[in-house]
A and B are shown apart, each in its own frame.
Chain A
């Protein structure tokens, strides 16, 4: 089954404790992206990657890091989480040609930073 998986689905952590949210897709998509969703602010893009070893900032990259060492994986790293990073996070993937507009989203990771 074609899908995007994220882990963990729920995470409660404390300020300053480094964490990683994993994202993996099995569709051989070149493009992967991270979004965060907050009430009243909608979905905002954090980082994206057009292919392996190619990443770039989205609209709200501060406080986040990403890496793309393999085509299928795109982890999101919070080196020193703060309470303002409490949010619902979504990973997405798509092709970079053809139906590039059709992005597939993961189930989301609800992060709480206390």
Chain B
């Protein structure tokens, strides 16, 4: 599985847009990029997945450049409740090898009032 690198922490303020960039230089052709969110003392929760270009859902947007060596999770107009750890994962998409998810260190996002 491709190794990912993301910032350890980020601070933001309510109403701002938060962008978290993840580097994955060794991404394979059949790898997808998936983001999970984890609140304190809760299990991770799937946010979004993409392969290339841009994906948007009701929670976030995911931007993936043409070379796919990095990706950016964008959280629009964050609120205090968006304070969480965000994990970037890279691996096979619909039929992962053993469905294994490999979590890195994640990015701790703190939203301030």
Distance in angstroms between the alpha carbons of A90 and B101 in the assembled complex = 13
Interface residues on B, range: 20 to 34
A56-B104 contact, Cβ under 8 Å, with A102-B46, A105-B44: no
CB distance from A109 to the nearest CB of B (A): 10
- Which residues A33-60 have CB closer than 8 A to chain B? 33, 35, 42-45, 48, 50, 56, 58
B100:A101 contact, CB within 8 angstroms: no
The chain B residue sitting closest to A105, CB to CB, is: B43
Distance in angstroms between the alpha carbons of A103 and B94 in the assembled complex = 12
A48:B34 contact, CB within 8 angstroms: no
CB distance from B47 to the nearest CB of A (A): 10
Residues of the A chain whose Cβ atoms lie less than 8 Å from the Cβ of B46: 101-104
Select B100's contact among A42, A45, A110, beta carbons within 8 Å: A45
Q: Which applies to chain A's interface (DSSP): helix, strand, loop or mixed? A: strand
Residues of the A chain whose Cβ atoms lie less than 8 Å from the Cβ of B93: 100-101
A101-B41 contact, Cβ under 8 Å, with A42-B103, A45-B101, A58-B100: no
Distance in angstroms between the alpha carbons of A92 and B45 in the assembled complex = 10
Chain A residues near B (Cβ < 8 Å): 4, 31, 33, 35, 42-45, 48, 50, 56, 58, 88, 90, 92, 94, 96-108, 110
Residues of the B chain whose Cβ atoms lie less than 8 Å from the Cβ of A103: 44, 46, 99, 101
A31:B49 contact, CB within 8 angstroms: no
Distance in angstroms between the alpha carbons of A45 and B92 in the assembled complex = 17
- Which residues B67-113 have CB closer than 8 A to chain A? 91, 93-96, 98-106
A-B contact pairs, 14 of them (CB 8 A): A33-B100, A43-B44, A43-B103, A48-B99, A88-B41, A90-B43, A97-B94, A99-B94, A100-B94, A101-B46, A103-B44, A103-B46, A107-B42, A108-B41
B43:A96 contact, CB within 8 angstroms: no
Distance in angstroms between the alpha carbons of A105 and B34 in the assembled complex = 15
Residues of the B chain whose Cβ atoms lie less than 8 Å from the Cβ of A58: 100
Residues of the A chain whose Cβ atoms lie less than 8 Å from the Cβ of B99: 31, 33, 48, 50, 94, 96, 100-101, 103
Extra 14 A-B pairs, beta carbons < 8 Å, given A48-B99, A100-B93, A107-B42: A33-B99, A42-B104, A58-B100, A96-B95, A98-B94, A100-B94, A101-B99, A101-B101, A103-B44, A103-B101, A105-B44, A108-B41, A108-B42, A108-B43
